[in-house]
Amino acid sequence: MNYINHNKRVYLLNYHTIWCPKYRRSILVGQLKIDLENIIHDTIKEKRGDIIALEVMPDHVHLSFSLPPDVAPHNAVKLAKGRSSNLLRKRYPHLLKMPCLWTRSYFISTTGMVSTETVKQYIEKQWDKAKKK
């Protein structure tokens, strides 16, 4: 376990989240995928968090991350989705044809029931599962 010791606090708060583009369209490819990864990295870093694993699939995003206890995980996800939608729709005009980039929903859980390493391996193997379909 990698406990974080900062400012008289010791914590280990890891989360796993998944979200999808509107209508689960397979649009997260190429340079758009790279730009999205950079936006997510910058957003989590801005919230003083660390990314454990990130995999952008063509039709969804898997993110495992840790945050300090004073940052609500839903705020980090909301900021990542909102900022990426705004920036990507400015850079890629074909996204403007969609009413919005992301669905309003997302999945989020703590990684307390399974080890963080298990979640990390699950996220990293997403491409293997996609190739088998």
- Provide the annotated active-site residues: 122
Q: What angle do CA 77, 80, 85 make, to 5 degrees?
A: 125
Distance CA 52, CA 49 (A): 10
What does the alpha-carbon distance between residue 37 and residue 44 come to, in Å, rounded to a whole number? 11
Strand, helix or coil at 79? helix
Alpha helices per DSSP H over 21-99? 30-46, 73-91
